[in-house]
Every structure is written in structure tokens, then in C-alpha cells.
């Protein structure tokens, strides 16, 4: 991580980007993928499973496709523009500001087990 990754503007943007539970979950999925990142379809089926409380293999294709489209339109552009992620086709990998965002998530005690609880609450509130 460079000093630029910790500038106040970048850190403020990290908090804005991590304010949505789906974005937080995507960041953790990319972290779980190690240096290889995660495929967008895999991320969508995993998020669907977390949100619905089912196994990723039980996720209906149409619902996963709809979620994948939502991610591509609503979440990935912001995460990539902020430098938190990089996207090459359907492969999501860590961006230059990924490290600071992961530090924020982990220091807040956020992990994929809390993603389901927070996502379900977030969907009901909106």
C-alpha cells in the first residue's frame, strides 16, 4: 500500500463505498480469492446465497443473473472508480486502495457471516 492510498480523500471515499452491504461483501469475496480474485458470476451466486440463506448451488439462475446485472450497474463502477477493485471482463481483483478498505472492514469486525445479517436488514429498510 502506498502513502497515496491513505490520503484523507481516498480514506473518505473508502467509507462511502463500504457503506453498502453488497459492496462490503464483494470486497470480502475478492479477499477470499487471494491474488486470483473472484469471478463475477461466483460473486453473484455467493451474495444471493448469503442474502437468501441458501446454498450457492441452490441459487436460481434467473435470480443470480439479476443480481449480477445489479452488481455491474450499481456497485462495480463505484468500486473500480475508487480504486478498491479492478475488473478485467468478469474477473474482480484487488485495486490499489483494496488494502485500506480491507483494513477498515476487518477492524470493524465485518466478515461474510455478518454480511447476511446486515444485507437482510438493509434490504428490508429500503
Encode pLDDT of 20-71 as tens digits.
Answer: 889 999 999 999 998 899 999 999 999 999 889 898 888 999 999 999 999 9
Nearest in space to 97 (alpha carbons), one of 22, 30, 21, 25? 30
Q: Please state the pTM of the whole predicted model.
A: 0.79
Instruction: Say whether 117 sits in a helix, a strand or coil.
Output: helix
C-alpha cell recorded at residue 74: 450499481
Structural domain total, the chain = 1
Nearest in space to 47 (alpha carbons), one of 93, 123, 112, 104? 112
**At which residue does the C-alpha cell 453473484 appear?**
44
Q: Which domain, by its residues, includes 44?
A: 3-125
Amino acid at each position: 500500500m502506498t502513502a497515496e492510498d491513505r490520503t484523507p480523500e481516498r480514506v473518505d471515499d473508502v467509507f462511502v463505498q463500504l457503506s453498502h452491504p453488497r459492496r462490503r461483501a464483494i470486497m470480502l469475496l475478492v479477499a477470499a480469492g487471494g491474488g486470483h480474485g473472484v469471478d463475477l458470476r461466483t460473486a453473484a451466486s455467493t451474495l444471493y446465497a448469503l442474502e437468501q440463506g441458501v446454498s450457492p448451488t441452490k441459487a436460481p439462475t434467473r435470480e443470480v443473473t439479476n443480481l449480477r446485472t445489479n452488481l455491474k450497474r450499481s456497485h462495480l463502477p463505484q468500486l473500480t472508480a475508487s480504486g478498491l477493485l479492478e475488473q478485467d471482463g468478469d474477473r474482480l481483483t484487488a485495486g490499489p486502495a483494496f488494502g485500506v478498505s480491507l483494513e477498515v472492514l476487518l477492524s470493524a469486525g465485518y466478515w461474510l457471516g455478518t454480511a447476511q445479517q446486515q444485507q437482510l436488514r438493509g434490504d428490508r429498510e429500503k
